[in-house]
Every structure is written in C-alpha cells, then in structure tokens.
Amino acid sequence: MDNLVEIILATNNENKRIEILDIFKDNNLNRLNVLIPEEVLGVKIDTKETGDTLEQNAYLKAKNLFELTKKTVISDDTGLEIEYLSNFPGVHSARFAGENASDEENRKKVLDLMRGVPENMRKAKFRTIICLIHNGIEHYFEGICTGKILEKEKGLHGFGYDPIFLPDGHTKSFAEMHPKEKNTISHRAIAIKKLAEYLKNYFLIGNST
C-alpha cells in the first residue's frame, strides 16, 4: 500500500485495535496500519498506571512505548466519574475494589455505595483520554459520554462498568447495546474519531483519488 503510515497501539488488547481500525476505516483512513507492541518488539508491554489522572496514565503508556520503538504511538486511559462519589472511581476505575479486583467486584462496590441514592443524584460520565506521541511530541484527545448509574446490572455485552451505566438519551445500558450501537456514542469512540480527524489532516492520508 502506497504511503503506508504505521502507528503502534499501547495495548495487548486485540479488541481495542479492531475498534480503532473500524473507526479509522469509517473516516477514510485506509492508509494507516495499526500494530500492537508484540508485533514490533516481540514481547508484550505492561506499563504500570501510576498517574494521578487519566492524562498522566495515557502519557506514561505512550511514553514507555515511544522510548522502546521511536515510532508513532497511541495509548488511552478511561475512567468512570460519578458525581455523587466526588468523581470517583475515575482514574482508579480498574482497581476500585482492590488491586486485582474483577469487573464484577468493581461494579458491586459502586452499586453498594450508590444504594438508595435518588435518580437525580446518580449522574455519571465515562471519560477517555488518548495520547498520541509523534516525533517525540504528545497530543491529547478526549471523549466523554454522560449518563447515570443504574440501580442494578442490565445487559450481557460489553465489559467493565457497562452493565450499570445508562447513557443520556437512551433506554438501554451499554451492556444491553450491540457493540456497533455502543461504538456510535461511546466515550472511546468519540476520542478515537477526534484522533482520526487529526491524523487525516496531519498526515493527509485519506483515500487516494
């Protein structure tokens, strides 16, 4: 493929790569080749998320991968921010119920803390930050999806906090939605679309005419 641009994604999660490639394709970014670290370095990379913010964690993961490869890299970090809990779990979303907590344990902790809280005080939002490092310079892209915390789990799709999050303007939780439907409104999809638009303008790598 002519003028192929390679980007390395700081994750070992193949589903994330598929999601990004789908959105890139929808935005006519057909000249991008998204790789994962193992394909470039021969090993999986696991960066400790020690930052105090989503931005810091996204940067730490991107910086580590950039230093190892010296190539264009992207990473993301996502948190669920609940207004009633002073925007917790936020950056601690993956470890809210403990360092090795499961998704189910994290959801249970949230539901326990929110038990009896009235509907008008259950506002929450998912927030994703993507960090792109190109030529040693970082750029950030944010995606936000607002909604509320449900009183119980609903749905079998998705992962993380999806079964207890109802996005504004919808009657189904993220976990009740088909992945394609979720990806039209999700926080991560919004951030990826912003990244795609930047890459299209910066690299001028849309479809050839």
Domains assigned to the chain: 5-203 (3.90.950.10)
- Indicate the pTM of the whole model: 0.88
Provide the pLDDT for residue 125.
98
Tokens of 76: 């993301």
Tokens of 118: 């009235």
Provide the pLDDT for residue 80.
98
37: phi then psi, degrees, rounded to nearest 5: -50, -40
* Amino acid letter for position 9: L
Judged by average pLDDT, the poorest of 10-19, 56-65, 197-206 is: 197-206
The H or E element containing residue 194 is helix 187-203
Instruction: Report pLDDT digits (tens) over 85-143.
Output: 999 999 999 899 998 899 999 999 999 999 999 999 999 999 999 999 998 999 999 99
Query: Of these residues, 76, 77, 112, 162, which one is catalytic?
Result: 77
* Amino acid letter for position 102: S
CB-based contacts of 60-67 (< 8 A; 24+ apart in sequence): 61/10, 61/131, 62/10, 62/131, 62/132, 62/133, 62/138, 63/133, 63/138, 64/10, 65/8, 65/10, 65/37, 66/133, 66/136
**Is 77 considered catalytic here?**
yes
Q: Residue 206's pLDDT band (boundaries 50, 70, 90)? A: very low
